[in-house]
Structure 1
Amino acid sequence: MSDSPEAVRWLQVRVTVDEPAVDEAEAALQEAGAHAVTLLDAADVPVHEPEPGSTPMWPQTIVEGLFDADVDRSTIADALAEAGLVEAAASARFNELVEQDWERAWMDRYEPMRFGRGLWICPSHLEPDPDWALVIRLDPGLAFGSGTHPTTALCLEWIDGMDLAGCDVLDFGCGSGVLAIAAALKGADRLVAVDHDPQALLATEENARRNGLEGRMECLLPDAFEALPGDRRRFDLVLANILAAPLVELAPRLIDCLRPGATLVLSGILPEQVDSVATAYQRLGAPVDQSLRDDWARLVFVATERDRDA
């Protein structure tokens, strides 16, 4: 085998176990020398939103270990068999992996996407079609928000249908910054992006630069946002594509960010969570719009003078 970095190989070991055996399988692979252990859903049973402090597992889980290529396979197989995780050492599954740039490999499969009638996301390594009206150049990096998830798509489709000329916009839980960038393309004026993850803010800043918005977008951690003067925390449009539990918890703060007549767009909500989220925002009245896409919901509220002062 070549010693060049491109030819470096890893050995992947997989074992499928029932939920009670996950910890034991993870420990067995780590003790055998795994550099990393990954848990994967073995039967397409999604866990959308666990309760705070809980770590739910799938009924059947693939436990995957990553080893140096020259490791003794029989040692790993024997350890799994002795722990009762495979019927026999010979049934352990091994797969050789060639070293590669995983982020680049993912980007190579990331194709342009259209949202609504005229809003496009185009990865930065591809050239957009000249006929596309509005184009977001995007590399999401490690942050959520590539447009591929239904919750992001729901928000982008809504933004595409709006005229946001002169609006001040807050993207709370900004991820890659894609929603704030889309708002800018639709005419928004002031742009503020907030996220608790510094990596997300770095991705947002880079994507803002890539789309000609350098210096126009404030990227802030939540504490820095809360430290802004009150009038600097009021917006014409607030976008929050996160999850139902934090949306409920954040309801008083997000409502407080709305100017009279402002719009609030919430996404990241499962259909069975719509009522609880709507109840948390009942000061704003009933949602003026509710949409579903692939088992995810988007809610839109409009604030009045009475709502803000309630």
Structure 2
Amino acid sequence: MAWIQLTLTTKEDYGRQLGDILMANGAQAVTYRDAKDAPIFEPGPGEVPLWELTQVTGLFPAETNMTPVVSNLAKVSFLQKPLRYKTDQLEDKDWEREWMDNFKPMDFGNGLWIVPSWHQPPHADATNILLDPGMAFGTGTHPTTSMCLRWVAQTDMQDKTVVDFGCGSGILGIAALKRGARHCVGTDIDQQAILATHENAALNGVAEKFDAFLPEFAPSEPVDIVIANILAGPLQELAPTLLNYLKPGGQLALSGILARQADDVMAAYAPDVEFAPVQYVDEWCFLHGTRQK
């Protein structure tokens, strides 16, 4: 079946309302994404992830007459005048095949690869993590996850204990375990992420070494390495919690941070953590440091 895709941009306060308007005008589905490439995050049950400027897209059957739809949208008070929108024709194609073709094996250095299950690993003797894109975020494609994986690939994980805080798909904890870590505890506020982590750990043969919990049930024993790829605000608020997880001399890896937020995040961990130079990819950064006491 072919489709018409109608996309508009509005302020975050109106994103959900615009989605409802599109559905009322015949859209079969509505998706939301950031208009400025901010990070995707895990919404709570019933929540819609919105950003300062939210791009709202409605999917309409190809036979839809879009003229009255656009006319109705032009009357919406919170949308820019004259109305600015974009329409795209989506071909009738095998969307599942198209989706699968977009995900290729990814190399993160030092022999660490993320490989979708439908691909053969490019190097059979490498550290190959089998991971399919799914409901829980974290497949290595975003710069924040990529920087974390590159750090794991070049860090001595042998016999280390690890906390993967905000584990999502479990990708970072699995990477640490497959690089030699002895045990990993994952935590996430989303039950779906906990299930995805358990499934992915089993797929990669590390289930017996990877325990994942909702935060209220997670053990609190100090570990050698804490990795947290979430967002700058929570990283600052949760600094005492993350420091409690970390042994003196342990290593802390933080991401999900915009470059302009780096100083504020590091300040939240001072003077307990001595940070190495900040690493940057585009507008994102990665922080790594050692606990001093």
Structure 2 length normalisation: TM-score? Answer: 0.82
> What residue in structure 2 maps to residue 250 of structure 1?
238
Question: How far apart are the structure 2 equivalents of 1:45 and 1:195?
Answer: 26
Question: How far apart are the structure 1 equivalents of 2:122 and 2:288?
Answer: 32
1:140–1:45 CA distance, 2 compared to 1 (3 A): closer
Question: How far apart are the structure 1 equivalents of 2:119 and 2:38?
Answer: 34
User: Is 1:154 equivalent to 2:142 in the alignment?
Assistant: no
Pairs within 5 Å for 1:68-217: 68=61, 73=66, 75-80=68-73, 93=87, 95=89, 98=92, 102=96, 105-130=98-123, 132-217=125-210
Alignment coverage as a number of residue pairs = 283
Code of the residue aligned with 1:302 in structure 2: it is T
Question: 1:34: Cα distance to partner?
Answer: 2.8
> What residue in structure 1 maps to residue 44 of structure 2?
none
Question: How far apart are the structure 1 equivalents of 2:51 and 2:12?
Answer: 11
Report Cα offsets for 1:228-287 as digits up to 9, x if no partner: 3x4xx2101110011100000110000000112111111111111111111100032430
Code of the residue aligned with 2:214 in structure 1: it is L
| From 193, 197, 215, the counterpart of 1:222 | 215
Report Cα offsets for 1:150-205 as digits up to 9, x if no partner: 11111111111122111111100111111111111111001111111111122211
- Contact 2:223-2:245 within 8 A present in 1 as well: yes
> What residue in structure 2 maps to residue 45 of structure 1?
36
- Contact 1:165-1:187 within 8 A present in 2 as well: yes
- Contact 1:13-1:64 within 8 A present in 2 as well: yes
1:169–1:34 CA distance, 2 compared to 1 (3 A): same
Larger radius of gyration: 1
Question: 1:13: Cα distance to partner?
Answer: 4.9
> What residue in structure 2 maps to residue 3 of structure 1?
none
- Contact 2:226-2:245 within 8 A present in 1 as well: yes
Code of the residue aligned with 2:109 in structure 1: it is G
Code of the residue aligned with 2:152 in structure 1: it is I
Question: How far apart are the structure 1 equivalents of 2:113 and 2:23?
Answer: 44
- Contact 1:116-1:158 within 8 A present in 2 as well: no
Question: How far apart are the structure 2 equivalents of 1:270 and 1:113?
Answer: 23
Code of the residue aligned with 1:247 in structure 2: it is L
1:191–1:79 CA distance, 2 compared to 1 (3 A): same
- Contact 1:151-1:297 within 8 A present in 2 as well: yes
User: Is 1:274 equivalent to 2:262 in the alignment?
Assistant: yes
Question: How far apart are the structure 2 equivalents of 1:17 and 1:152?
Answer: 27
Counting aligned pairs with the same residue, the percent is 39
Segments of structure 1 that go 5 or more residues without pairing to the other structure are 1-7
User: Is 1:12 equivalent to 2:24 in the alignment?
Assistant: no
- Contact 1:243-1:269 within 8 A present in 2 as well: yes
Segments of structure 2 that go 5 or more residues without pairing to the other structure are 42-46
Question: How far apart are the structure 1 equivalents of 2:26 and 2:198?
Answer: 39
Code of the residue aligned with 1:140 in structure 2: it is P
Alpha-carbon RMSD across the aligned residues, in angstroms, is 3.3
Greater CA drift, 247-256 or 185-194? 185-194
Question: How far apart are the structure 1 equivalents of 2:71 and 2:273?
Answer: 62
Code of the residue aligned with 1:33 in structure 2: it is G
Question: How far apart are the structure 1 equivalents of 2:5 and 2:109?
Answer: 43
